[in-house]
Amino acid sequence: VGRNQALEHWPQEVDKKPVLGERQKQIISLAENALGDFEWKYGVRAPAPSVYYLTEERWKGLMKYCPGNEENSGFFDVDNNCIFIRLTKKHQNNLDLIDFLDTNLHERLHQQAFRAVQAWGEGLDLVREGLDTVNVRKGKRYFSDFDEGIISYFSGRMTENVVDTNKFLFKKELERDQLRRGSFSGDLEEAIFRMKKNDFAYRFSVDVIRKLIKSLSYLRGGRPQDVEEIEKIFINAEFKGNLLDLGKEVAKLYGKGGLRVLAHLNEKNSGLVQGFLRAKGLATQRRYAEKILPPEEFERYKKLMVESGEEVESEIDQKSWRHKYNTGEHGTKDYRQKNIDDRRFSRL
């Protein structure tokens, strides 16, 4: 039984709602307000889900029908539009409440993600949730961990903002854990409360998303508004289904085959994907892509790069314009932007 049939196979247990304390209720209310602001700002809409908070004992019972989720803090049942949150003993004792907040936000963002179905045989198959995509004919899945990285990145940002504006509610946790303060991307943002890397779910995926957002925003000038513009492109891809604009943005630095490489991100190859994102030159990117992609996917990657004219650009030429952009050589951002436009954007 898959996790999406959890409610169907165990309704008598999930209906037994545990008593939530006042602090848990406050945090749930703050999460709802943060989600409301997110929905209003970005025009994201989804039917309100049913949310169930399960004690450790009931969570273990539910896991009999959802193997593989035992250690998770929560999950979203797409078939029934239900969210299950694991209410740990620490949560009940008013501990780890930042984690409790992040879990609520994380699962609600999953619930709001874009979805698409495809006719297959006599029924319909869910082929896309956010960026997580399934090729039904080939039985392959793409963007699964990349999608989790996007959700974790934005739920983490929302968690940080909620904590930053409600420190009185999390005072004991902040003092005990001494969570790091600082901005995620150097001087791009005003320094506010930030979680430690280990506090993020899917940390390896979040690291990739952060690096990608940072690189793409620097390409536009590296200002706070540039970061926000890039984040909006990710949001439109995750919650509105607009993968095309994200692909175009990624192609500006990594070619038309760049998004295909990111689609294969997983925990084992995350170091290679980081190397791909750091690579200064198409030849180096290609070497990383060959290590990341299965052989047939690498052939498609090469074909995309050749069709878009990326392969004809030399390593020296590539390093030259990157050096000029990164160092500010030859003056203003306008010059650097025009230089990049001339060399790369015209081939998209």
Domain boundaries, the chain: 1-93, 319-348
Q: Is 189 helix (H, G, I), strand (E, B) or coil?
A: coil
Distance of CA 204 to the CA centre of its chain: 11
Cross-strand bridge partners of residue 86: 54
In the prediction, which pLDDT does 139 show? 84
- Report the relative pairing of strands 82-87 and 74-77 from DSSP bridges: antiparallel
Contact criterion met (CB below 8 Å) for 304 and 255: yes
Question: Per the structure block, which two tokens stand in for 204?
Answer: 């390896």
| Nearest in space to 292 (alpha carbons), one of 314, 308, 312, 270 | 270
Residue 348 pLDDT grade (very low, low, confident, very high; cuts 50, 70, 90): very low
Longest Cα–Cα distance of the chain, Å, equals: 69
Report in angstroms the alpha-carbon separations of 123 from 81, 127, 142, 259.
19, 12, 22, 30
Contact criterion met (CB below 8 Å) for 158 and 275: no
Hey, which of 49-58, 117-126, 333-342 has the most confident mean pLDDT? 49-58
Among 4-13, 65-74, 102-111, 329-338, name the one with the lowest average pLDDT.
329-338
State the residue for tokens 């994380």: 106
Task: Flag whether the pTM goes above 0.85.
Answer: no
What is the distance between the alpha carbons of residues 153 and 128, in angstroms, rounded to a whole number? 19
